[in-house]
Amino acid sequence: MRFFGEPIEFEKQAGIGSPVWRGRADGGEALQSFAVAVHRADGRLAALWGGDERLRSGGFRLHCVFGVDAGHAWVSLDLPAENPVYPDLAGIFSAANRMQRATRDLVGIATDSGDQRPWLRHGAWPADWHPLRHDAGEGGNFPNAPSDYAFVQVGGEGAHEIPVGPIHAGIIEPGHFRFSVIGERLLRLEQRLGYQHKGVERLFIGKNIAEGARLAGRVSGDSTCAYAWAYAAAVESACGVSPPPRALLLRALMLERERVANHLGDLGALGNDAALAFGFSQFMRLKEDWLRLNGALFGHRFMMDRIVPGGTALDLEAPALSAIVEQCDIVGREVKQLKKIYDEHAGLQDRFLTTGAIDADLARELSLTGVAARATGMILDARAHRQGYTPPPPWAMLGVRPATDERGDVAARAAVRFAEIFESLRLLREIAVGLPDSAVCIEVPPLPGGCGLGVIEGWRGEVLAGVALDGEGRLARVHPHDPSWQAWPALEHAVMRDIVPDFPLINKSFNLSYSGADL
């Protein structure tokens, strides 16, 4: 198969997951040409990473995943062992900027132009050491030598900078925000992340499939089900197996419970940031009840290690499913009342409306997915039908209705969260009463040399996992990708035209992952 008349030949990935086509670019020009064609067709850059293939093919390899109407096009580009450079894609997809810089820090392959500032390397290792190269060694004895970061400077009469972080007053993850302002009016925001770097991608190397599953579920704790499913889908595709129907629906049930839990927490926090403490206390009460039922039914409040390659690690009996349906009814009634309070609260709506706005054109340019994209009117949801795209099982049979809002501001992102809660509650009821009789897990024999890509619609947006197995069937390379990679730059745009005190509210309306983008 070919896309857009480009010369790259694609073959459809095996398995029943989200449609993925795999192709190889014959040189940097071919990759760049394909990226241009995707951009012209209103596609997006979904992920970009690199790998050291010198032991197998004699060089390095760049992987780019593009979102297209029919699913995802996964393009690989082989690079030489000496001077492994490739064309800068950030001029086509701005989302490539940080991914390219992270790939340079970790693997040592670089673009031939563009932004060359480090992204994940904060001075904890030297510039000529790359932790994902097979000959990197342990690298644990480097002196910690932090260096200044070349923030973009904004000048002019009355302009000044406000540095915030990376250590914050609250118990939150570290990130540095450099505000350029005149008075309280924001002219520019530039972020510096990477303080959460844990070496996750290096930890995957050499592990077996089961060990990798445990690590995948801990990339970003609030999205453990999404990451575990994306990893499992990638492994299942790489090994040529399909999980049982009951397991797929149980995975969907866990994913929707994860979505509801996070939306409940975010809606409460948004109320709190707009001085509506009542909303915060009520939503957090509902979230706590929701997580307690998770703990009772799944043995873990966040359902960690319950989605595994081959299916699920547990089954639910009739009493558990009845408890889920009953809780959905209770939460649905209470959220409906809280939505009415939020919608009619003049002070809260004054803070929400027109604040932190982005439009659909910018969302497309930034390759946004998830809540942030749907709040600009884009119908982009890997669970739902759209032109040229049929969702994978079990979503096709469930008929997911995407929630959208065209305003693109804090109010829109809150409205999408409300709508998604109601839709998730509907899906949970439907799943609970319609589970088929089948096994919940099958064996996944490792296929040496296999590779696969998994794509799951997490609560923030599109979560991906690329997996490659070595000649012994162990993990040679795993790249988990969080939608926050694309959404963090959107936050920089959203704060323009607003004032400094609005930033906490705008930031919470996105609620992005630091650790998910700091691998």
Listing DSSP states for 208-265 in one string gives: -HHHHHHHHTTSSGGGHHHHHHHHHHHHHHHHT----HHHHHHHHHHHHHHHHHHHHH
- Does the residue 293 lie in any domain? yes
> Which of 111, 146, 169 is a domain's end point?
111
**Cβ neighbours of 518 (radius 10 Å):** 23
Q: Are residues 78 and 206 in the same domain?
A: no
- Does the residue 162 lie in any domain? no
Q: Are residues 100 and 222 in the same domain?
A: no
Residue 519 has a pLDDT of 79
Q: Are residues 284 and 401 in the same domain?
A: yes
- Does the residue 164 lie in any domain? no
Largest CA distance in the chain: 71
- CATH code for the domain in which residue 69 is found: 3.30.460.80
* CA–CA separation, 93 and 39 (whole Å): 7
Q: Are residues 219 and 98 in the same domain?
A: no
Q: Are residues 266 and 382 in the same domain?
A: yes
* CA–CA separation, 66 and 43 (whole Å): 7
- Does the residue 143 lie in any domain? no
- Does the residue 179 lie in any domain? no
- Does the residue 5 lie in any domain? no
- Does the residue 140 lie in any domain? no
Question: From first to last of its 519 residues, what are the pLDDT tens digits of the chain?
Answer: 899 888 999 999 988 889 999 999 999 999 999 999 999 999 999 999 999 999 988 999 999 999 999 999 999 999 999 999 999 999 999 999 999 999 999 999 999 999 999 999 998 899 999 999 999 988 778 888 877 889 988 888 888 999 998 888 777 889 999 999 998 899 999 999 998 888 999 999 999 999 999 999 999 999 999 999 999 999 999 999 999 999 999 999 999 999 999 999 999 999 999 999 999 999 999 999 999 999 999 999 999 999 999 999 999 999 999 999 999 999 999 999 999 999 999 999 999 999 999 999 999 999 999 999 999 999 999 999 988 899 999 999 999 999 999 999 999 999 999 999 999 999 999 999 999 999 999 999 999 999 999 999 999 999 999 999 999 999 999 999 999 999 999 999 999 989 999 999 999 999 999 999 887
Q: Are residues 373 and 232 in the same domain?
A: yes
Strand, helix or coil at 64?
strand
> Which of 90, 111, 132 is a domain's end point?
111
Residue 252's alpha-carbon distances to 134, 306, 395, in angstroms, are: 37, 12, 8
- Does the residue 50 lie in any domain? yes
Q: Are residues 480 and 344 in the same domain?
A: yes
Which residues have CB under 8 Å from 363's CB, separation 6+? Answer: 372, 373, 376, 378, 408, 490
Comparing CA positions, the residue from 96, 114, 106 lying closest to residue 60 is 106
Range of the domain at 304: 202-508
* Cross-strand partners of 178: 163, 190
Q: Are residues 101 and 218 in the same domain?
A: no
Helices 245-273 and 503-510: angle between axes, nearest 10 degrees:
170
- CATH code for the domain in which residue 372 is found: 1.10.645.10
Angle (CA) 502-504-505 rounded to 5° is 65
**Number of folded domains that form the chain:** 2
Q: For tokens 């509650």, name the residue.
A: 425
**Cβ neighbours of 203 (radius 10 Å):** 16
Comparing CA positions, the residue from 365, 362, 360 lying closest to residue 39 is 365
* CA–CA separation, 261 and 278 (whole Å): 18
> Which of 86, 111, 136 is a domain's end point?
111
Residue 352 has a pLDDT of 98
Which residues have CB under 8 Å from 127's CB, separation 6+? Answer: 118, 121
Q: Are residues 250 and 365 in the same domain?
A: yes
Residue 147 has a pLDDT of 78
* Sign of the dihedral through C-alpha 227, 225, 414, 270: negative
Contact between 310 and 232 under an 8 Å Cβ cutoff? The reply is yes
